[in-house]
Amino acid sequence: MRSLGMAQTLLRPEQVDDLVAQYREGATLVELASRFGVNRRTVAMHLTRREVTIRRGRFDPARIHEAADLYLSGLTLVEVGVKVGVGPQAVRQALASHGVVIRPGGRRGSSITASAAVGG
């Protein structure tokens, strides 16, 4: 039985073909999830079924200040990840490694500026 309130988006085979092609061209799980209106785990499941090796998310170090600004403005790790094209764990690791204090789950907002938080 499916949980109430959870919408299920089924992809047609030709959509999965397109998803696989875009992933092979360099699109991330997060980008594809947004484009196809599904969860990133659903994207990974389709890729795995098609025997496509899943790449580990790589955070572009040049985007650390952008990510820090977004996070410190109150966005969640998931929301920042969507904007910079990686998963929330990659965002968490990148921000933490640059000295940004990660908020406990469910809380937003900070008075620390991004440049101060990342030593800029």
How large is the average pLDDT for residues 92-119?
71
| Eight-class DSSP state of 112 | S
Whole-structure pTM value: 0.51
Q: Please say if the pLDDT value at position 60 is more than 90.
A: no
Q: Please say if the pLDDT value at position 21 is more than 90.
A: yes
Angle of the 88-97 helix axis to the 77-84 helix axis, nearest 10: 100
Q: Please say if the pLDDT value at position 5 is more than 60.
A: no
Helix ranges, the chain (H): 13-24, 29-36, 40-49, 64-72, 77-84, 88-97, 114-117
Report the amino acid identity of residue 21. Answer: A
Which is more confident, 44 or 110? 44
d(CA 51, CA 47): 6
